[in-house]
Structure 1
Amino acid sequence: MDIQQTSEATGVIITLEDAKKHCRADDFGDDDALISLYIDAAVDWVQSVCQTRLERAEFTATGSRFDLGFAGYPDPEITSVGYVDDLGAAVTLDASRYALRDGRLIVYGAENVASARVVFVAGLGPGNVPARLVQAMRMLVAHWYLNREAVGAGLAQVPLGVRDMVATYRSFAFG
């Protein structure tokens, strides 16, 4: 199934104030917009490297059949499950006709499925992200803030300390 994020993430993993303090830029507001962009980029980078959703958001999965695993989408809560049958009739399933088992969606009694749709909310959410990943994001924001270009002798795009902090979570699904 193809999964797309269909809502804005809820909660904040790193606040602007926290990032500014880490960057030692908390005495002025001139760079707030820039630091906010770095925060978004750092969260996105860590999510991509770890292959898991840190921010809690709504997702919609669509496909020609119910073949949905939640690796990389921790703590999933299914909002709705439905399908269109081969005659074009839309069917919405009640909660007794589907279940989560071993990180996969199990659907009972769905016949002649032409297209399937599953809406769910997933992600670790603020307060549940490991401290090491939060610190790696802070460090990444500060690095990008202080070194606006990835050029120069000995200057890496991503500091080795950040890579080391994130390494233990790579290719690891939290849920």
Structure 2
Amino acid sequence: MMLVEETNVPLAALPVEEFKAHLRLGSGFAGAGVQDAVLVSFLRAAIAAIEARTGKALILRPFTYTVERWRETAAQRLPVAPVTAVSSVTITDAAGTAEVVDPGDYRLRPDAQAPQLRATGSCLPVIPAGGSAAVAFSAGYAPDWAGLPADLGQAVMLLAAHYYEYRDETALGQGCMPFGVTTLIERYRMMRAGFVAGGLG
């Protein structure tokens, strides 16, 4: 199974000016464009870290989840929440021939923690031996920063500021996350197993 993030978080959705204010940076200084690029990189890193830790997509964007077999005959849990829509399900056989499933054969069961693709009948379409099923869907709390839950937005700001403050510190561990950040995201976390992510981790 594999999760692929089809597009990055759009640049327009990143709170660059808000992050500058959070860091209390001035404006109009020389090299502002270079500084913006650095701030964007820390915001993206913070978003990716929080998404990986929580299993939640913050900004709305498309994903594709590919499996070789359904975990249940009538339902398949999706590895990211919240899912807003399933755009397509495609079955591919061992020879590489793909067939798009009739949208009437499945439905989305929304859930804040574990959304599911569910059959409208008794079972989901059969995945042939050696084949796969690709579920294309959109997930995220909001299309822009203003629509995010306030605690998640604050967690991103705190973590990005932490990265910024310690940007020259090479001894920081890969899993380093300040206590204030972990406290803010704790209620969004859930135990996940068996997912290989191309974007969320």
Do Structure 1 and Structure 2 share a fold, with TM-score over 0.5? yes
Match of 1:31 in 2: 35
Match of 2:141 in 1: 124
Q: Which runs of 5+ in 2 are unaligned?
A: 193-201
Separation (CA, whole Å) in 2 of partners of 1:65 and 1:5: 20
Conserved? CA contact 2:14–2:40, under 8 Å: no
Distance 1:19 1:105, change over 3 A: same
Q: Secondary structure at the match of 1:117?
A: strand
Q: Which runs of 5+ in 1 are unaligned?
A: none
Alignment of 1:59 with 2:66, yes or no, is: no
Q: Work out which of the residue numbers 96, 100, 107 in structure 2 matches 1:92.
A: 100
Match of 1:49 in 2: 53
What's the Cα RMSD here?
A: 2.9
Identity fraction in percent = 28
Match of 2:159 in 1: 140
Separation (CA, whole Å) in 2 of partners of 1:26 and 1:65: 54
- TM, length-normalised to structure 1: 0.79
Match of 2:125 in 1: 110
Separation (CA, whole Å) in 2 of partners of 1:85 and 1:53: 30
Conserved? CA contact 1:10–1:56, under 8 Å: no
Q: Secondary structure at the match of 2:88?
A: strand
Distance 1:169 1:150, change over 3 A: farther
Match of 2:77 in 1: 69
Shift of 1:98: 1.1
- Deviation digits for residues 24-80 of structure 1 (CA, Å, limit 9, x no counterpart): 113231521111111111111111221211121211122223443125321331111
Equivalenced residue count is 169
